Structure 1
């Protein structure tokens, strides 16, 4: 199990690094319009084919994925930190604060997810900042609830009680005794949140509430491709969509492997 998990981690890190580096190296010149090569099906010279402007779809896909990954990582880390703070605060901040944070979690989880994302993104001006803020404000609830439950268990442990008896503050206990124990669950939550973040980024952009049409996002590519599917240009939507799906599935499997490695009950299955 450990070797398999390390293999998944290495594969995910390698894939993300390649996409990010390649995406930054692809220039506007590489995505230039070439009407002599427009609407070409996938081949050895253009493995993802070309679009209606003759642009190489593989280069456009890599560029779009790199942008989606940057937005997904930023939104995931910010949302995870928000969840970590609220989860710990709910468990050690007293009954009133715990009740308020639990109420807030129920409110956010009770709202239609995509509609809430669209409203937040629209209010904050769409674009990368609107997407990131929307994901941060809607994806923190699961991690916060898991961390809260973990902290409540840790509060009753002997070493935490001993620390309190020595007069240590709640901040000291949270930093030195609680935080190190919740980091594994926090890490698993981040890994599992990341594919959701990039999927929602693509969904918002596809619906017109995310990235600008001038930005090379996967959602932009998929949205534009709808106008050409009826003419038989299936590769314009299929190849970018499959690439996004592969990354989502890969990180979903990674999250499951890491969770099984950390969870002692699943580790022996």
Structure 2
């Protein structure tokens, strides 16, 4: 189990670091090499501008992972704060947060992402902001449900009778017990964030064409796939699929490690 998690993390971290330190010349324009089929020198072939698709795809996936990490971190913190506040404070606070969750989940996700990204000027910041502020509702519900269970525990009730404040009780007695659910939810946010970033870029509301991104690469490939340039969409799509599946593997294995009883369900 730990081997699977380690292997998945090593792959994803290697792609992220490779993209950050990569020389732009590796995926630069070389018109003399345009539309080359996959070979040893160009494993993923080249595109209509002669750019090496292997290095361009690695750089694009690195950008997607970076956006996914940043957006998921922000979104998960929002979910933790809202989930704990709703369950601990109760009353009007709980009703308002629950109403916000229902509003966000009631609207088609992709439409909300498109609107927010457009309002924020598109580009890397626009897509990261859109993903960050739209992925907290489901995790908020999970955290809230977990806190409600812990809230009724005897040691929490004892802390209440001892006169401790709600903030101190949440910090010392509740949050430590909901961290396993929070961490699993955080990891499982990554694949959703990466896929939604790729979707926004594919539709033209994410990274600009000058910035390597899997969504943009796949969007460009659609113009040439009918002419038989199959490698332009096959390999970038595969490495995106592999990254998403690896995040799912990490999340599932973490769930089994942190909650062994889930394996019997």
| Residues 70 and 128, structure 2, Cα contact 8 Å, conserved in 1 | yes
In the alignment, structure 1 residue 194 sits paired with structure 2 residue 163: no
The alignment partner of 2:26 has SS state of coil
Contact 1:79 1:136 in 2 (8 A): yes
2:236 is aligned with 1:257: no
Q: What does 1:143-158 correspond to in 2, within 5 Å? A: 143-158=139-154
Alpha-carbon contact 1:261-1:267 (below 8 Å) kept: no
Question: Could you say which residue in structure 2 is the equivalent of 1:141?
Answer: 137
- Post-superposition shift, 1:233? 0.5
Q: State how 1:9-28 maps to structure 2 within 5 Å.
A: 9-28=5-24
Residue from 70, 76, 79 that aligns with 2:66: 70
Where do 5+ consecutive residues of structure 2 fail to align?
none
Q: Quick one: distance in 2 between partners of 1:234 and 1:24?
A: 28
Q: Tell me how large the CA RMSD over aligned residues is.
A: 1.2
Aligned equivalent of 2:221, options 215, 225, 232:
225
Deviation track 1:182-219 (CA, whole Å, cap 9, x = no partner) reads: 11100100111100100000000000111111111111
List, as ranges, runs of 4+ consecutive aligned residues in structure 1 with deviation greater than 4 Å.
Answer: none
Gaps of 5+ in 1: none
Q: Name the stretch that deviates more: 142-151 or 25-34.
A: 25-34
Q: Is 1:80 the counterpart of 2:91 in the alignment?
A: no
TM-score calculated relative to the size of structure 2: 0.96
Aligned length: 265
2:54 aligned partner: 58
Q: How does 1:144-183 map to 2 (within 5 A)?
A: 144-183=140-179
Quote the offset at 1:264 in angstroms.
Answer: 4.0
* CA distance in 2 between partners of 1:154 and 1:255 (Å): 23
Q: Say whether 1:108 aligns with 2:104.
A: yes
Cα distance in structure 2, aligned partners of 1:25 and 1:10: 22
Matches of 1:144 and 1:53, distance apart in 2: 45
* Distance (whole Å) between structure 2 residues aligned to residue 168 and residue 198 of structure 1: 41
Are 2:5 and 2:249, in contact at CA under 8 Å, matched by a contact in 1?
Answer: no
- Which one is further off, 184-193 or 26-35? 26-35
Using the alignment, how far apart are the partners of 2:222 and 2:83 within structure 1? 42
Query: CA-to-partner distance for each residue in 1:202-240, whole Å, 9 max, x for gaps?
Result: 000000111111111111111111111111101011100
